[in-house]
Structure 1
Amino acid sequence: MTTTPDTAASTPPPTADWVDPLAMQRDPYDTYDRLRDLAPVVHVPALNRYLVTTSDACRAIESDQETYSARAGGAAATMVRALGGTPMLRRDDPDHATERGPVNPPLRPKRVREAWAPLFERNAETCLAALLEKGPDEADLDHDFAAPLAAYNLVDMLGLPMADPQDVRRWSHTFIEGIGNIQDDPDIWVRCDAAQREVDAVLDDLLPRLRAKPDGSITSALANAGLTDDQVRANVKLTISGGLNEPQHMTTTIVRALGDHPEQRELALSDPARWPAVFDEALRWCSPVGMYPRETTRPAVLEGFRLPAGAALGVVVAAANRDPSAFPRPADFDITRPRQPHLGFGSGVHRCAGHWAARIAVGEIAVPLLHQRIPTLRTDALRAGNWSGWVFRGLTDLPVTW
């Protein structure tokens, strides 16, 4: 619960000077457990911010835009720097609502099923054929299926037929690197600047044509909503980053989780009605977006701990999704657990706009198709897969065989 400092007894958050960002890149969950045991909000000098790790505290932040701002500032600067502009995720209402409004209609579930699902199915078939051609001795589910499929789907949804899906994939990974660059690596900024220039060159040609002849794409919706070119460009780049990264990682996370839990896999394969629960549990168990920033606009008390104005916060939804006070046996992957809201897509007004597209493209089409066509699909024990990241987390390699 958030209260004003003069109405509740409060103490400063504890400090965790032992946090190792490199260890978190490899596996953050032990660190999250230790932080959560200390307090709901902990000052972490190595990251120059306060990390918020409990479900209640993260939800309290999302319910109070006036105190915890998403606007571009110290806490949110990496996204603005990576994308070369301020997208809707780094704005508060009413500005956020102005930019979010145009993309809501193309991403509603009915529209996704009617307009996008047939394209998702076509693209999944194309990428599955490429995976099968690679063969059971060399196939990598991330490189040969999940990433190219997410790129093809994104090209269709954004309406970028002139863009090479391989370029879109590279742009996305570069922007994600930049958004997570809280250590301020200059080489990452060089790559972000180059990706920005390439995307801008595509949009220089595309935006005038879409304004003259609108279509059903997300880019068209943004271009014809009365937004400035800078607003359109920032939000297209935002969509390129999250619109590829999250579906890609969800595909590989689900396949890996089912492979590591054969009893869960058998449940899913024996009852196709379980696939939505599989998607939802994987999203909770290993959230592809692990942390996003907020900044206090005024002194505040969060769950009994005093925060100054201008405090840079990390809302660690991946930790909140494994909070034992919210989820029994939180580290277990269990598709039979009772349905319960989590923060895998965020919450409140900033909840991910593309969550229905991801659920349908990955949870209803791509992953079921993989297991239907390759019933013996499994992780290749002879070739290691690699998890990486904490701001964004997923498998960077997933060798598979059948």
Structure 2
Amino acid sequence: MSTAVPPPVADDIDVATLLDDPYATYARLHELGPVAWVPVLNRYLVTGFDACRAVEADEATFSADVRGGSATMARALGGRPMLRKDGAAHAEERTPINTPLRPKAIRATWLARFERNARTYLETLRARGPDDADLNRDFAGPLAAQNLVDMLGLPDATAEELARWSLAFIAGIGNLQDDPGIWARSDAAQQEVDAHLDALLPVLRRRPDASVTSALLHAGLDEATVRTNVKLTISGGMNEPQHTITAIVWALTDHPEQRERVLSDPSWWPRVVDETIRWQAPIGMYPRRTTRDCVLAGIALPAEASLGVVVGAANRDPAVFDRPDEFDIARTKRAHLGFGSGVHVCAGHWAARIAIGEVALPMLYDALPGLRTDPRRETTWFGWVFRGMTALPVTWGG
């Protein structure tokens, strides 16, 4: 029987480098092993694929109710949402939204809206023209926001409002330094969302609809819990679709042979979406807490340890993926962790797959022949906990 050993220490990690481009750091962590102590972050980073899966398979040992993070999330959202609960408490709040977010329900209820919204922002992008268009600003960001407005059933909210609320909530969730300016913005976002819900919830009580908000409301949850989980959905529901759209166009520009493959055979679009999320995970890390002394991938961990489950690194684990740093839509198909795993797997993953792979990307490439990154203007990436393109200038034609 193998003996558990102390974790290796990664004392050369630079946070600024992580924010700019984390993948060289992830390669260094893979060399150390599947779990490492990172002093600058004051937490253990779990980067091995199997180790990340093991964390999600054992809620009793690796709790989603994390120290510090749960408190800031509750402060930012006005209560502790399902994402920071385990077991039955999590299931009670998660189960109601599973039904409206299944593929059949999404196609029946939301597909036409996804198409309408994509057409709207396609015209915004086209109006900017091939010398000024930015895919993040003009299409991916507002499209992800409007789709979320519709799925939450917020009839009077705008995409611009939802995007602003999302940023305010995300900043609040990460406000471990207790910055009063960040709290002021998240408090204002809470008040604005609550004003919309004050008008909406009485209507939904009388006339349920297919929205996520209605599903939560009619599941027997108290109203405060409904409100908190609506705000949770606002905080996290934009990142994956927004950043996957931009990452796909960026990746296909740099891999023209793969772009031609999918444009000549649209059945490849689901593979493009999955490979992009594996390769450039929009949600790169989430926290967990150990509830007892334990062993993870042969590494001894103490009770009450703060963990970072780095799925962005796990998706490039060389022990699991051949040529992990390469973008290859034809690679041998296998599960990745870009949507998480276990009971906390992303609730909206089918909505994201359908909105991106069945609607947004085929429509973009059909409407704008020659769509590609514009080399005349700067492309920028940012982040590792949430990672995506903050600017993607695009051009077409020619």
Given the two structures, how large is their TM-score scaled by the length of structure 2? 0.96
| Partner residue of 1:391 out of 385, 389, 393 | 385
Q: How does 1:1-400 map to 2 (within 5 A)?
A: 9-181=3-175, 185-400=179-394
Is the contact between residue 69 and residue 174 of structure 2 (CA under 8 Å) also seen in structure 1?
no
Is the contact between residue 66 and residue 288 of structure 2 (CA under 8 Å) also seen in structure 1?
no
Is the contact between residue 66 and residue 289 of structure 2 (CA under 8 Å) also seen in structure 1?
no
Is the contact between residue 72 and residue 91 of structure 1 (CA under 8 Å) also seen in structure 2?
no
Q: For residues 18 and 184 of structure 1, do their structure 2 counterparts lie closer, same or farther at Cα, with a shift above 3 Å needed?
A: farther
CA RMSD of aligned residues (A): 1.4
**What is the CA distance between 1:176 and its match in structure 2?**
2.5
Is the contact between residue 180 and residue 392 of structure 1 (CA under 8 Å) also seen in structure 2?
no
* Structure 2 residue identity aligned to 1:260: D
**What is the CA distance between 1:76 and its match in structure 2?**
3.9
Runs of 4 or more consecutive aligned structure 1 residues displaced over 6 Å after TM superposition: none
**What is the CA distance between 1:314 and its match in structure 2?**
0.3
Q: Distance in 2 between matches of 1:337 and 1:8?
A: 34
| Identical residues among aligned pairs (%) | 63
Q: Where does the alignment leave 5 or more consecutive residues of structure 2 unmatched? A: none
**What is the CA distance between 1:182 and its match in structure 2?**
5.3
Is the contact between residue 10 and residue 306 of structure 1 (CA under 8 Å) also seen in structure 2?
yes
Is the contact between residue 373 and residue 393 of structure 2 (CA under 8 Å) also seen in structure 1?
yes
Is the contact between residue 275 and residue 327 of structure 2 (CA under 8 Å) also seen in structure 1?
yes
What secondary structure sits across from 2:55 in the alignment? Answer: helix
Is the contact between residue 75 and residue 294 of structure 1 (CA under 8 Å) also seen in structure 2?
no
Q: Distance in 1 between matches of 2:276 and 2:216?
A: 31
**What is the CA distance between 1:174 and its match in structure 2?**
2.2
Q: Distance in 1 between matches of 2:10 and 2:33?
A: 10
| Corresponding residue pairs, total | 396
Listed one character per residue, the Cα deviations across residues 162-209 of structure 1 (whole Å, up to 9, x for unaligned) are: 112210011112223333455655533332222122112211221122
What secondary structure sits across from 1:104 in the alignment? Answer: helix
* Structure 2 residue identity aligned to 1:104: N
Q: Distance in 2 between matches of 1:146 and 1:208?
A: 32
Given the two structures, how large is their TM-score scaled by the length of structure 1? 0.95
* Structure 1 residue identity aligned to 2:267: A
**What is the CA distance between 1:73 and its match in structure 2?**
2.8
Q: For residues 186 and 261 of structure 1, do their structure 2 counterparts lie closer, same or farther at Cα, with a shift above 3 Å needed?
A: farther
Q: Distance in 2 between matches of 1:110 and 1:176?
A: 30
Listed one character per residue, the Cα deviations across residues 4-33 of structure 1 (whole Å, up to 9, x for unaligned) are: xxx852122122222111211111111111
Q: Distance in 1 between matches of 2:66 and 2:296?
A: 21
What secondary structure sits across from 2:307 in the alignment? Answer: strand
**What is the CA distance between 1:103 and its match in structure 2?**
0.4
Is the contact between residue 371 and residue 377 of structure 1 (CA under 8 Å) also seen in structure 2?
yes
What secondary structure sits across from 1:10 in the alignment? Answer: coil
What secondary structure sits across from 1:395 in the alignment? Answer: strand
Q: Where does the alignment leave 5 or more consecutive residues of structure 1 unmatched? A: 1-6
Q: Distance in 2 between matches of 1:123 and 1:381?
A: 28
What secondary structure sits across from 1:94 in the alignment? Answer: helix
Listed one character per residue, the Cα deviations across residues 220-278 of structure 1 (whole Å, up to 9, x for unaligned) are: 11111111122111110111122112111111011111111111111111111100000
Is the contact between residue 70 and residue 90 of structure 1 (CA under 8 Å) also seen in structure 2?
yes
**What is the CA distance between 1:93 and its match in structure 2?**
1.1
Q: Distance in 1 between matches of 2:136 and 2:304?
A: 39
